Amino acid sequence: MADAVLDESTIYRLSGAADEALQNALVHGNLEVASALRDSGDGSFDDLVEQRRTQTPFCDRQIDFTMIVDDEAVTITVTDQGPGFDPEAVPDPREPEYCERGHGRGLLMMRAFADEVRYNARGNEVTLVVQRPCLCDSACG
């Protein structure tokens, strides 16, 4: 059985990646609220999130969260019940025309925190893999 101890850096990376995945699953997946609404600056993004939290079918959707810890890595899978998306169609937030936007960095953050980020074909499930560092006193082999 894997040692349950994780170092502080790994915990930080895991929590950052999982937080982004869960927020995306809730807001963009289950509630189907587009990030672009934030551009209006009129509160319509937050208003639609609040509206859909109590509106069928959005409020009835669930998020599945699975975490597997083994000797080599921690693997987190987050699945929402929304329609999914094409991660390849999302603009690169590092491009100059997108740097000023107040949104669209969640996928980049997941890639920064996790060693591996995979999506299912439908685009409603993300799997994050964070490698576990060796915590032993001797050289790991």
* Span 21-44, pLDDT tens digits: 999 999 999 999 998 888 788 999
Cβ distance 35 to 104 under 8 Å? yes
Note the pLDDT of residue 122.
97
Mean of all residue pLDDT scores within the chain: 87
CA distance 141 to 97: 46
Residue 1 pLDDT:
42
**What percentage of the chain carries pLDDT values higher than 70?**
86
**Between residues 64 and 100, the one the model is more confident about:** 64
Give the global pTM: 0.86
User: How many Å apart are CA 15 and CA 28, to the nearest integer?
Assistant: 19
**What confidence score (pLDDT) does residue 84 get?**
96
Residue 133 has pLDDT above 70, yes or no: yes
Q: What is the mean pLDDT of residues 98-122?
A: 84
Highest averaged pLDDT of the listed ranges 23-27, 90-94, 135-139: 23-27
- Please give the average per-residue pLDDT across 45-55, as a whole number: 97
Beta strands 116-119; 125-131: pairing state = antiparallel
The pLDDT of residue 4: 55
> Among residues 9, 1, 2, which one has the least CA distance to residue 133?
9
For residues 82 and 28, what is the distance between their CA atoms, to the nearest angstrom? 8
pLDDT higher than 90, residue 126: yes
Specify the CATH architecture of the domain 8-29+62-131.
2-Layer Sandwich (3.30)
Distance CA 20, CA 8 (A): 19
Least confident of 8-22, 36-50, 81-95, 125-139: 125-139
What does the block give as tokens for 97?
């025309």
